[in-house]
Amino acid sequence: MIQRIQSLWLLLAAACAFAGFKFPYYSGTKLNDPVLYELNATSTLLLMVTTIAVGVLALINIFLYKKRALQLRLCALGILLEAVLIFLYYRETTSFAQGTYALTAILHSIIVLAFVMAARGMNKDAKLLKESDRLR
C-alpha cells in the first residue's frame, strides 16, 4: 500500500540496497597487486547474497501491511542483516593495502535509517488503530 509512509521508506531501503551492486563501497589496491580495485556487492558471494537478502526483505515487507507485528520483526531483521553486511564490507577492506571509502558507502547508513523510519511509521499505524478501536 503506497499511501503509507513506511512503504516509501522501505522502497528507499530496497533501492539503496540494490544500488550497492552498481556503486563501490571502497576503492584501493590489494596487498599483493598494485591494480586499483573497487569493492561493491558483486565482489564476493557472501556480500552479494546478503545484499540481495536486505533488498528483497525490504520489498517483501512493503506488501505485509496488514500484519504489522510481522512487519516490525522483519524491519528489525533488516537492520540486523544490514549491520552484518556493513561488518562484511569492513572485513573485506582489511585485505586492501591502501584505499579510501567511497562516498556511496553512505547508502548503507541510509538503509539502516530507512528501516528505522519505516518501523516508526508502523508503530504510529498500530497506535492509531488501537485508538480507533478504543473509540468504537
Of 1.50.10, 1.10.3050, 1.20.140, 1.10.760, which CATH number belongs to 5-135? Answer: 1.20.140
- What band does 135 get if pLDDT is binned at 50, 70 and 90? low
**pTM of the predicted protein model:** 0.87
Give per-residue pLDDT as tens, 79-123: 999 999 999 999 999 888 888 999 999 999 999 999 999 999 888
Q: What cell does 90 get? A: 569492513
pLDDT of residue 11: 94
pLDDT digit string (tens) for 14-55? 999 999 999 999 999 888 888 888 888 888 999 999 999 999
For residue 37, the model assigns a pLDDT of 87
Q: Indicate the residue type of 72.
A: L
The grid cell for 74 is 522483519
pLDDT score, position 30: 85
Q: Give CA–CA dist 19/11, Å, rounded.
A: 12
Residue 133 near residue 127 (C-beta atoms within 8 A): no
| Alpha helices in 2-95, H assignment, sequence order | 5-19, 45-62, 68-93
Sketch the domain layout of the chain as residue ranges: 5-135
